[in-house]
Structure 1
């Protein structure tokens, strides 16, 4: 039945739709989030930028674990199914990382703002990205359903944890926060030591440590002129991508050093970039 659904969708395939759905599927890739998340953290709402970033990284972690535990094979190579843009389909099939990531991102946005335009855009993005994975022949329908359901669960748990943290009256010293930001991601890596978990838990650790240091000593705000906001995004994202690439060649390509590479990029995201923005008077301070 699942193969039949994919084949029915692919009855409408043509070269133009191929390019359209490849473009759509890239909206669920990590590069899309590397571009969009900094906009929230640096220009819209720093606290919410942190929240959506950590929830998304948690979703990627869970997706990686479930994929490697279930080890479901993709429909690539299945008789009668045409699979293209397979470079976007690494690892196992269930659940769909694109469907789960898109649902996590847009679901968190919809839960936060609850505005009609965002709800429409979010639902449309989830449907289109999910459909693209079937059209491209790289996922089974059950992968899409599983990814969406897992994302919804992660959003609920993430919002619950965030509410507990916000309502907590405990004033935890900075040193303890930093220790927790190292221990928790490290423990998650040890628990399931898959390559992707080294990378994204390293990123999460760096982001959290930078955020805590900023909150203690700098207190950067996100408000500024539109022109300066654009400068911030261009400078911040460019250096982030350069760091990610350059460190790949400077450091040995092993899981531990990959974790370090992403950790450094996380520090840039949450403390390095804001300090740079302040240096060039593209940011404001509250402390």
Structure 2
């Protein structure tokens, strides 16, 4: 128990350190107008990173909150692709770009996804550090996108508003419906990404979202078992499950990097099923539940 208490204290300290360091980095970037600093801040809006962070929430905060925030990221990403290519709004002139950029401008995907994740986490947990993260990180990401010249102010405001709307709606469903909300969020992500693939909108990204969302949708009947199993695990075993899931995710990301749409859908569907199986497998081999002193 002493080790777990110290680990939880360290995680709490880290939770407060991230918004503080992000705000400090934003202030330094504004002062120096350094491309390198802006790129570092804009990396906080990468969708792949938020899939990983959702796994962290799943195992180190609460499994149900993690499943729902992962759904928010997938739904937000799929909605962003559909909106971008449907509206086809131009980015600022290329001569202003300080980094390469692709696709239409509105709404900003980095801003939208980061806002969906952090604001959703804040609403679901009501923790002070999560609220600070929801304020600091999306602001830093949005500012970096404008500073790098790849988005207008309107693009990032639109991304922020849509991101908040998705997170608040998903969190409302989560609080009202519990595990049943997963069916709605994952189902909408599946439908939206399927339409995007059909229309040829970012087939690589849309295929990854479709595969992961579909796999998670198939797992929802076993969500109760997954949540109970993770909650029964000690903190050290949660770290083991997190490391296992992260390793599988990185391998899938690497192997599917140059795959076609159908192969990506299959790869990410299998990834979702594997992530869902990790706690149960660890439990069966005697590593899934906390050991109690005699």
Instruction: Report the TM range for the smaller structure's normalisation.
Output: 0.7 to 0.9
What is the CA–CA distance in structure 1 between the aligned matches of 2:135 and 2:99, rounded to whole Å? 24
Q: Summarize deviations over 1:66-107 as a string: whole Å, max 9, x none.
A: 1001112222514xx2x2332xx3321110011111110111
Report the CA distance between 1:230 and its aligned residue: 3.0
What is the CA–CA distance in structure 2 between the aligned matches of 1:23 and 1:276, rounded to whole Å? 37
Structure 1 residues 211, 41: CA separation in 2 closer, same or farther (over 3 Å shift)? farther
What is the CA–CA distance in structure 1 between the aligned matches of 2:179 and 2:80, rounded to whole Å? 29
Q: Would you say the 8 A contact 1:28–1:102 is kept in 2?
A: yes
Higher relative contact order (CA 8 A, sep 6+): 1
What is the CA–CA distance in structure 2 between the aligned matches of 1:75 and 1:216, rounded to whole Å? 48
271, 274, 280: which one aligns with 1:265: 271
What is the CA–CA distance in structure 2 between the aligned matches of 1:146 and 1:218, rounded to whole Å? 34
Q: Would you say the 8 A contact 1:55–1:158 is kept in 2?
A: yes
TM-score for the superposition, normalised by structure 2:
0.75
What is the CA–CA distance in structure 2 between the aligned matches of 1:223 and 1:217, rounded to whole Å? 10
**Count of aligned pairs between the two proteins:** 255
SS at match of 1:94: coil
Task: Look up the match of 1:7.
Answer: none
Mapped pair 1:75 → 2:80: no
Mapped pair 1:41 → 2:58: yes
SS at match of 1:125: helix
Q: Would you say the 8 A contact 1:43–1:223 is kept in 2?
A: no
Note the residue ranges of structure 2 that are not aligned, 5 or more in a row: 1-28
Structure 1 residues 18, 185: CA separation in 2 closer, same or farther (over 3 Å shift)? closer
Note the residue ranges of structure 1 that are not aligned, 5 or more in a row: 1-9, 169-176
Mapped pair 1:192 → 2:190: no
Mapped pair 1:90 → 2:99: no
Report the CA distance between 1:134 and its aligned residue: 1.0
What is the CA–CA distance in structure 2 between the aligned matches of 1:125 and 1:206, rounded to whole Å? 29
Moved more, 209-218 or 38-47: 209-218
Structure 1 residues 246, 153: CA separation in 2 closer, same or farther (over 3 Å shift)? same
What is the CA–CA distance in structure 2 between the aligned matches of 1:229 and 1:166, rounded to whole Å? 22
Report the CA distance between 1:64 and its aligned residue: 0.5
Structure 1 residues 235, 190: CA separation in 2 closer, same or farther (over 3 Å shift)? closer
Report the CA distance between 1:224 and its aligned residue: 4.0
Cα RMSD between the aligned structures?
3.0
Structure 1 residues 186, 141: CA separation in 2 closer, same or farther (over 3 Å shift)? closer
